[in-house]
Amino acid sequence: MRCEVCGRKIRTDPTRALIEGAILTVCDECSKHGKKITDEEFNRKSDPFKKTPISYSIKPIKKRKIEATIEITQELVSDYALKIKQAREKLNLSHEDLGKKINVKASVLSKLETGKISPNNKLVSKLERGLKLKLLIPISKDDTPSVFSKSSNRALTMGDLVIMDKKDGEEPTERKAS
């Protein structure tokens, strides 16, 4: 058996000692660092060296539901890539020059102009300030498809999405009630 403090092999009978609040099996030399515990004290259910615990009443924290309602009032123009390219060329700026001006990588600007990526709100504001152009326009209010009436109280289903996806103005067929 080895001492739990120093790791030396214990040649004599192991001693239990209370060292810094932990009961450890230690050699005679390491038992001097704490208070020796007899086998009788160790086998008792209550620890004689332990102070009576202070009971706290802990109430669970109630989590409040935070409902964030964000009203989106503006959208990105559909031809943003062309507008960015034209504004950059009008100011005679290269991708690198514009990138340094608005703190954006030239590769990002190149991908924006080709339409491979679309800008987030932070990048849109940088581009609007740097190029002095307007990329966000107010959302038109009546963009709801004619298939859905605004008075409908039912939730949108997968079938409704399939109907919306039909091309060439095909009339949706009535669904059978189940």
- Every domain of the chain with CATH number 1.10.260.40 lies at 74-138
Asked whether the CA dihedral 106, 107, 110, 115 is positive or negative, the reply is negative
pLDDT 10s digits, 77-89: 889 999 999 999 9
% of the chain residues with pLDDT over 70: 72
DSSP reduced 3-state for 109:
helix
Give residue 57's pLDDT: 64
CA distances for 4 relative to 7, 15, 27, 76, 81, angstroms: 6, 11, 8, 67, 69
Higher pLDDT, 61 or 94: 94
Instruction: Give pLDDT, residue 172.
Output: 52
In angstroms, the CA 39 to CA 139 distance is 80
- Superfamily in which the 74-138 domain is placed by CATH: lambda repressor-like DNA-binding domains (1.10.260.40)
At 5, the amino acid letter reads: V
Dist CA 9 CA 27 (whole Å): 8
46-73 pLDDT per residue, tens: 455 555 555 556 677 777 777 777 777 8
Record the pTM.
0.43
Residues contacting 140, CB < 8 A, separation 6+? none
